[in-house]
Structures are given as C-alpha cells and as structure tokens.
Amino acid sequence: MKDNGTQPAWNPADKLGSLEAYAERLHGQAASLFKRDKTHVSVLFLFSDEGLASVNAVPANTPPDALVAGVRQAVREHNLYGVITISEAWTYLLKRSGDHTAVQIMYGEMRVQDLKDEDRTEALMVRMESRDGGQLTWVDPIVRDGADVRLGDGMVLPREKCLKLESFFSANP
C-alpha cells in the first residue's frame, strides 16, 4: 500500500469498511516505522461513529489488563465505534491442529508470558475491533539475529483465529 500521507476517507454508511481501511493503512505505517527504527511504541486509536476521535500513546509497561479496562471505560463513556492498537507483544503461534498449549492459553489456564522464550514469539501487532463485531489482527513476527532486527512474514487473523484477546466491547459493567 502506497502511503500518500492522507487519512482514509470515513464513510458513515460503511463504518466497518472505513475502520478496516484505517487499520490496513496503520499496519503499513507501523511496519515501515519498525523497519526504520527497529522498535515501535504502543499506540491506541479510538474511533467514534463519525471517524477518528483520538490518538493516544500507551505508557510503557502498562499491564494488559489495565489497558483493556481503560479502553472499555472509554468505549462506554464515549460510545466509541472502533479501536485500533499498535504494539510490540509476545504471542504464541500454533504449531499444529489441536495444539494443547494453544488450548491452555485460550481457556486461561496459561498465559503467553508464562511460556519459555523458545515457545513464544515477539511480534509487531496491529489489532482492530469494532462495536458491531468486526475484528482483525495483523501479526508480524520480530526476528532478532544479533544486531539485525527485522519483521518476518506476517499474517492477518480474524477473531476466531486469535487465541485469547480480551474484547474492548464486551464484559462492560
């Protein structure tokens, strides 16, 4: 995707399509920045029914449960339509169908941070979620080879292929 420096147009009649266009563009920008800087800060993009509402840097070392709780509160208070996050994170990539470790992670019996380094993967992740159930996650493995840091072959995962992502739009009190 060529970046001409403009934001995607927001179409109120196709909010999900508009949010996906933003996420695709932000993924491309995040990958380019990572390739240049060899790192990426965590950033949160919040969308109302009318389009981009705010861009927020996520403080370093923010616990994932605190981030989810804070975003859920913002979703409730501001009736947000969509959320896009960009971050470096540890993830687990399935090794085979019926992978027992994946099942344990999915059901909360184990967390990715509990795994041995050789069993988890560091990745640049861009996650998009909407109020009406749309969700996509871009996962680009980070490859560290001595001083060389680069992104491996990435993938885009729909909600049903993600192991255990806390929804920003459910479990709201």
Res 32 pLDDT > 60: yes
- Within a domain: 173: no
The encoded tokens of residue 34 equal 């990572």
- Within a domain: 1: no
- Within a domain: 56: yes
Query: Domains in the chain: how many in total?
Result: 1
CA–centroid distance for 16 within its chain? 16
Sign for the CA dihedral angle at 9, 15, 21, 25 comes to: positive
Domain that holds residue 92: 12-161
- Within a domain: 34: yes
Instruction: Work out the percent of the chain whose per-residue pLDDT is above 70.
Output: 82
Res 120 pLDDT > 90: no
Determine contact, residues 8/18, Cβ cutoff 8 Å.
Answer: yes
pTM score, whole prediction: 0.86
Q: Which of 111, 55, 110 is nearest to 83 (CA)?
A: 55
- Within a domain: 106: yes
Q: What is the mean pLDDT of residues 33-57?
A: 95
